Amino acid sequence: MSTQPDAFPLAAPPFAGASRRAPIDAAFAWLRLGWLLFTGNPGVWIGIAVLFIVAMLGLSIVPLVGQLAANLLLPVFIAGLLTACRRTADGEMPAIADLFAGFRQNTGPLILLGVLFMLGMFLIGAIVFVLAGGSLASALAVGRPAGFGLAFGGLMVAALLWLVLSAPLLMAICFAPALVSFHAMAPLPALKASFSACLKNAPVFLVFGLLTLVLAFFAALPAGLGFLVLGPVLAGATYAAYRDIFIGA
């Protein structure tokens, strides 16, 4: 990042609408700023994390429509998390109610992001089923013990396909909630801009992903309670990446 501040507020250069290529060590700066945002008011951030988890789990357990609603509203809640990050970066006090900021502004486009993301996941699932389902069906037909090997191979192929096909979708959704919420971009242009930014910064995101895996391992050790800290830190790091790549700050 161009700045590595220890205090807030941060400078807010104008949004130019284009992304830039960040240096490969920017991943460390993003996580550092995410930590600074969290430590600015850890109690509020843990409260936001708890409320986010409760909201998503509460939606998911509703019969028939629960999981659908959770997927549709995920970008809305992400916009709320990023709003809390922006308020902290601006030197303001974040509030637990910031989690629901996406329900007050640009709600329709954010929900449309959820629709497009969900359709993308359905499409990926269908492709994986068509391409890898044959191996699993053959395994069932052969029976054991030979069928076990075929089934395992089919599962590995399905997992690899899912990973490869999901990566572009995750790249497209990464910055889209921020672009829609903060800059009123339409959903499709926001998805395109996010994908382009992630592709341009693929080496940085590889480093960021590896660092996140290490942090997630340690966060999982104390009965998963570490995710109440890591979740807000990653939200702050995502906000830092958005500022770095799209605003150059």
Round to whole Å and give the CA distance between 99 and 51.
8
pLDDT tens for 107-120 read 999 999 999 999 99
pLDDT at 5: 45
CA torsion sign for 114, 115, 117, 118 is positive
pLDDT tens for 185-196 read 999 999 999 999
The three-state (H, E, C) secondary structure of 81-99, written as one string = HHHHHHHHHCCCCCCHHHH
pLDDT at 138: 59
**Would you kindly state where each structural domain of the chain is located, as residue ranges?**
26-115+173-247
Q: For residue 235, which phi and psi values (nearest 5 degrees)?
A: -60, -45
Q: How confident is the model at residue 3 (pLDDT cuts 50, 70, 90)?
A: very low
Q: How confident is the model at residue 79 (pLDDT cuts 50, 70, 90)?
A: very high
pLDDT at 158: 80
Residue 148, pLDDT > 80, answer no
pLDDT at 249: 63
What does the radius of gyration of the chain's CA atoms come to, in whole angstroms? 20
- Average pLDDT, integer, range 194-220: 97
Residue 13, pLDDT > 80, answer no
